[in-house]
Amino acid sequence: MSTGDLSYETLDHMFDNSEYQELYTRLEAELTITSAAQAEAGESDSEEDVELLWRFARVCYSMHTENKADKKAAEAYLRLAIDAAKQGMRLDEGHFAPHKWYAIALGGLGGYVSTKEKIGYAYEIREHADKALELKPGDSATLHLIGRWCFDVAGIGWATRKIASMLFATPPESSFDEALTFFEQARDALPDDAKNTFPENDLFIGNTLLKLSRKADARAAFQAAVDAPIKGADGQRIHDEAAKQL
159: pLDDT strictly greater than 80 = no
Residues 6+ apart with CB under 8 A from 242: 199, 202, 203, 206, 222, 223, 225, 226
Percent of the chain, pLDDT > 90?
A: 74
H/E stretch holding 244 reads: helix 232-244
User: Which amino acid makes up residue 114?
Assistant: S
| Residue 15 domain boundaries | 1-113
246 within some domain: no
Residues pairing with 135 in the sheet: none
Tally of domains in the chain: 1
188 within some domain: no
24 within some domain: yes
Average pLDDT, the chain: 89
Banded pLDDT at 36 (limits 50, 70, 90): very low
Per-residue pLDDT, 34: 55
20 within some domain: yes
